[in-house]
Amino acid sequence: MQPMDPPLSINNDDDIEEVSLLDDSDLQDQHDQILSPPIKIIKKERGHTLGEKSITQWASFIFIVNQIYGPGVLSIPVVFQQSGWFMTTLSLTFFLIVSCFASTLLCESLSMIPGNKYFDKHIEYSVAVKYYFGSKSYYIFQVLNNLCIQAYNIASIVICAQSLDQFFVFCFKKTFAFTFHPTFGFQSVPDANIFYSSGYVCITMGYLIICAVSIPTSFMNLNDNVKIVQTLSFVFLFVLIGEFIVQYFLNGIHVERVPTFGDNYYQLVSIFVFSWAYPMFIPSWVNEKKNNVSVNKAVWLSGVFSWFGYLFIGLLGAMAYPYLGTDNILNLMGLETSPTLTRIASYLFSLGVIMPGIPVCFITIRYNLYVGYICGKRSSYFWGVIVPWFVAFIFCQQTIFAQLLNWSSLILNSLVNFLFPFAIYLRATGDKFKKKHIIFMENEDPSDSVVKPFPRIVAKYHRQITWAIFIITLCISLTQIVYDIVKAIMGDNPLAN
């Protein structure tokens, strides 16, 4: 058996093959200007050692819904009470549309890379940035992307750890932690909130258990994780949302608790940027889905389904509790005053719905590090999965956590999930880029693409629509950032309460 040639990549110039697909000399002469310098064609990369293309249409729906129902969903009732139902519903709907377009346009851009029409190259998000924008932008994006995913993941870890510590108090009347500040050593408390709201820097029992459960599932490939972990998580999601809605009605629905327009818009944008922050996971999914799975159907059906769930959880939750403050609704449902079944359901929501999203974050990070040639396979496990646990516990304090949620959403999530995908698509479909790649592009006409991100009737306006969404999203994000900074300078910061 002859040895196989090593796989080529776009990550090292020595590995890039300069080719021409034209054999006819006259035709070659005609296109010499277009093809100078020669085009870089991506050969199969490290991605072939990752997950197989086995994720079905139904499994795709499950996966995307699970990523949408992340830690941000728990703060939506607070936004309904503070900002009013009109602006909150408007923001919820706007980011549904933007996130769906960001996801489908990102997939379209990946499919436009030569040889990757059907996502056979396993090109991750960061590698696509390198292809379209070059090495300098690539390294900047790697940092932003990893920070964004880690901030999102830390939020999930903190919520799950706190919920599990509350469960220990429920069962054993106390929970435990190794504290670094204000005292050093082991400590037990009868109320888990003491560790999370009293200035402690500690590693709690709940944190350690979340770590022990999440690390092994983070070593899976994504397709295997979807098949087992995400499917179970989806079952938990359905059952527990049903229980929560029943409890809301048992508490009593008071419409007056949610005004039409509120007096505080501090988290109006950031919480939905955080809640719809799933486009960063889409490239990893699209690389391991079956070829017959429709990207449009998977993304839009998942988005619309989740929109209704967000509306029910957020609006009814805001009407069912008199004052939510800055707390996530699980903490209220886990209090001793809540019925036993609801308390157990609140713990299970963290462990069964939010915790399964933690491995997906780690898998996505190590995929980007490995396929992007930042790390080898073993070191990608270490830096992508192990190291973050040595940092995440610092953010367990509620005030720090709330600030992380708000500012990482406005800056990192806005860039990675709601601006970069549109910028990549505009770059991929721009005249300058298309002239350089016109010979190799299999889907030059957007209406003829594999993804078909736009309806045929408006496909010819695809760039104008993309520009409009990009500019509107940028303006909204900047407006919210300025608003939050002004409110913080004036001392009117609800997250500090």
Using one digit for the tens of pLDDT, what is the confidence trace for 435-460?
555 444 444 444 457 898 999 899 88
CA distances from 456 to 106, 160, 207, 280, 462 (A): 18, 44, 49, 26, 10
d(CA 66, CA 64): 5
Token code pair at residue 314: 């957020």
Residue 94 predicted with pLDDT over 90: yes
Distance from C-alpha of 325 to C-alpha of 332, rounded to nearest angstrom: 10
Asked if the structure places residue 20 within a domain, the reply is no
List, for residues 341-356, the tens digit of each pLDDT value: 888 888 888 889 999 9
Domain assignment present for 5: no
Q: What is the pTM of this model?
A: 0.85
Distance, CA of 42 to CA of 115 (rounded, Å) = 7
State the pLDDT at residue 304.
Answer: 97
Do the domain assignments include residue 213?
A: yes
pLDDT at 327: 59
What H or E segment, with its residue span, contains residue 61?
A: helix 57-68
Q: Following DSSP, what letter does each residue of 93-132 receive, concatenated?
A: HHHHHHHHHHHHHHHHHHHTSTT-TTSTT---HHHHHHHH
Q: How many structural domains comprise the chain? A: 1
Indicate the DSSP class of residue 230: I
pLDDT tens-digit profile of 232-248? 999 999 899 889 889 99
Alpha-carbon gap, residue 350 to 354, rounded angstroms:
5
Domain-embedded: residue 29: no
Domain that holds residue 265: 55-496
Is the N-terminal amide bond of 283 cis, ω within 30° of 0?
no
Confidence category of residue 376, pLDDT binned at 50, 70, 90? confident
Query: For the domain that residue 489 is a member of, what is the CATH number?
Result: 1.10.4160.10
Would residue 321 count as lying in a domain? yes
Q: Residue 468: inside a domain, yes or no?
A: yes
Per-residue pLDDT tens digits for 42-86 = 444 566 668 789 999 999 999 999 999 887 788 899 899 989 999
Helix (H) or strand (E) segment spanning residue 202: strand 201-204
